Amino acid sequence: MRYNFAFGPDVKLTVGDFKETGIAGLLETDIDLTIGENKENAKMWVSKDGKFIMRGELSDMNKDMFAENRAKLDIKSSPSAGNPNATITVVEFAGL
């Protein structure tokens, strides 16, 4: 892992327990990385045969990946323009 992800000798790696993912042949684990006082957690997926490892995000293409975040938006009391029954809603986030 050090070679594939360029983790030098100063990086302390702690590999968590491997868990089933519900996807045949694929396990997931958490990797804790420590460099001095800096700590980071990375989720990784490993094939059961140990030949493949992946770091990043694993998304279920059968689910709406943004449904949970959209449910948190309260746009009913926000200023708006256009047709309130439009098929597409554009939400703009702007800072002052």
Domain ranges of the chain: 2-58
Q: What tokens were used for 16?
A: 């968590």
Asked whether 29 and 46 are in contact (CB, 8 A), the reply is yes
The pLDDT value given to residue 25: 94
The pLDDT value given to residue 79: 84
Asked whether 27 and 20 are in contact (CB, 8 A), the reply is yes
The pLDDT value given to residue 27: 95
- Residues of the chain with pLDDT below 50 are none
The pLDDT value given to residue 67: 87
Asked whether 15 and 9 are in contact (CB, 8 A), the reply is no
